[in-house]
Amino acid sequence: MLSIVIPVYNEQENIAPLLEALKSYTPADTEYLLVDDGSTDDTLKAILLFSGRDSNVKCISLSRNFGQQNALMAGLHYAKGDVIIIMDSDLQHPPALIPEMLRKINEGYDIVQTRRTGTQRIGVIKRISTYLFYKFINSVSDIRIETNAADFKAFTRKVLDNILKFEERDLFLRGVFSWVGFSTTTIDFEAPPRKYGTTKYSLGKMMILGLRGVTSFSLKPLRIAFLAGIIISLLAFCMGIYYFFVYFRGHTVPGWMSLMTAVLFLGGVQLLAIGLLGEYVAGLVTESKKRPLYLIKDTINIK
């Protein structure tokens, strides 16, 4: 059995063409699990039109907008398939790739990821922000995220069972799929332009996602702060010695040496202390709250 998990948020125009396209490329017993992430338009009504006449079209309606990553996890918790596919609802993840993804799974791969080679009619700012996103996250993260990787993946139940063991509240699923390992292959595709609606991933959200990825899978930023504290402290010490000799040679303004030394030294010590404290605190703050990833308002065709 195949389960397709799709988070949706204000995508009322895309529901009908998406489901019609999916039915053309998937087996008859496929489970279509849409997660309505607190949409404020008629997305839920559009889903109900299909779920009323097809029990394979299922829906989880969340109580509010929890974000794409949390909505995906909600769908993964309810997916029943032996093979699971996750994808976006804007038709920029071509359903026509699904047969090839399933063939790769049948060849023995556990994860089939997809990679954009380009996106038709994408803006320059979006291209630059996407490029910087992957450069940044791969430069500071302990795991490598495939450049231009999409949240359009097929994977086996074995992979899903291991992903569901994660209890993190600050989710970054692209990093999770890289972290768990398993045999993986990649399919390249060119994303078509969005026909309806607007993208929900602004530059700001991309930056937040990148920060989430870095803090979830790396302590490098904290170690950089720690290293910066050491370097600045050493520089302050060396400059203090230099200013000491310059002062007695009469080439400085009275008070300037002590002020500069104090500012640089204290700044270095503060960064050093923050870096050390951050090593202990960063991993505890989010998890200590133990808030649920999502809250369900209603379910449709789910038993």
pLDDT in tens, 231-288: 777 777 777 777 677 666 666 566 666 676 777 777 777 776 676 677 667 667 666 7
Q: Is the pLDDT of residue 168 over 90?
A: no
Output the pTM of the full model. 0.70
CA 242 to chain centre: 48
Q: Is the pLDDT of residue 23 over 80?
A: yes
Q: What is the pLDDT of residue 166?
A: 82
Provide the β-strand partners of residue 2.
Answer: 83
Q: Establish how many alpha carbons lie within 13 A of residue 62's alpha carbon, considering only the half-sphere containing its beta carbon.
A: 27
Mean pLDDT of 73-78: 92
Tokens of 161: 């069972």
Per-domain residue ranges for the chain? Answer: 2-218, 220-289
Q: Is the pLDDT of residue 100 over 90?
A: yes
Q: Is the pLDDT of residue 201 over 60?
A: no
CA distance linking residue 277 with residue 283, whole number of Å = 11
Q: What is the pLDDT of residue 294?
A: 87
Q: How many CB atoms lie within 10 A of CB 100?
A: 15
The dihedral built from the CA positions of residue 218, 220, 225 and 227, taken in this order, carries a sign that is: positive
Give whole-number Cα distances, 270 to 79, 227, 231, 277, in Å. Answer: 48, 12, 12, 10
Over the chain, what is the mean pLDDT? Answer: 79
> Averaging pLDDT over each range in 143-152, 163-172, 270-279, which range is the top one?
163-172
- At the topology level, CATH places domain 2-218 in Spore Coat Polysaccharide Biosynthesis Protein SpsA; Chain A (3.90.550)
Collapsing DSSP states into helix, strand and coil, what is residue 119? strand
Q: Is the pLDDT of residue 121 over 60?
A: no
Per-residue model confidence as pLDDT tens digits over 28-70: 889 999 999 888 888 999 999 888 888 899 999 999 998 888 8
Q: How many CB atoms lie within 10 A of CB 107?
A: 10
Q: What is the pLDDT of residue 134?
A: 67
The percentage of the chain sitting over the pLDDT mark of 70, rounded to a whole number, equals 70
